Amino acid sequence: MAKKARKRRKFAKEYKAEVVKLVNESGKTLTAVCEELDLVPSAVSAWVSQADIDDGRGPLGALTTAERHELSQLRKENRELRREKEFLGKAAAFFASQKQLGTRS
C-alpha cells in the first residue's frame, strides 16, 4: 500500500536548531531522531547541513543562511528595478511620440 502524501509543514528556526542539536549531540542517528519526532530525514539532513555551513564547517562557496537571505532580497530588488526601468522606457517612448505628434500640428 502506498504512503499517503504528507502536507508540507513549516517549522520555526528555533525548532530546527533544537532538532539539529539533538542530531549532533544525542548520539542517535539522524533517522532515529526523525522517526521519534515524525520528521522527514531529507529535511532534517538539509537543516544539519545548513547549520554546518552557518558554523563555517560547510563546503567551500556554500552560502550561509544570512547570505541566502541577502541574495533572495537582492534578486527581488533586481526584478523590481528591471520592471521600473522597463516601465520608464515605455513611458519615455510614449511621451516622446506624443511630443512629436504635438509639434507637427
In whole angstroms, what is the distance from residue 70 CA to residue 66 CA? Answer: 6
pTM over 0.85: no
DSSP reduced 3-state for 80: helix
Task: Give the pLDDT confidence of 56-76 residue by residue, as tens digits.
Answer: 998 999 999 999 999 999 999
For the chain, what are the domain ranges? 13-62
pLDDT band (50, 70, 90) for residue 6: confident
Query: How does DSSP classify residue 14?
Result: H
Report the percent of the chain where pLDDT is more than 70. Answer: 93
Cβ atoms of 99 and 92 within 8 Å: the answer is: no
pLDDT digits (tens, 9 = 90+) for 47-58: 999 999 999 998
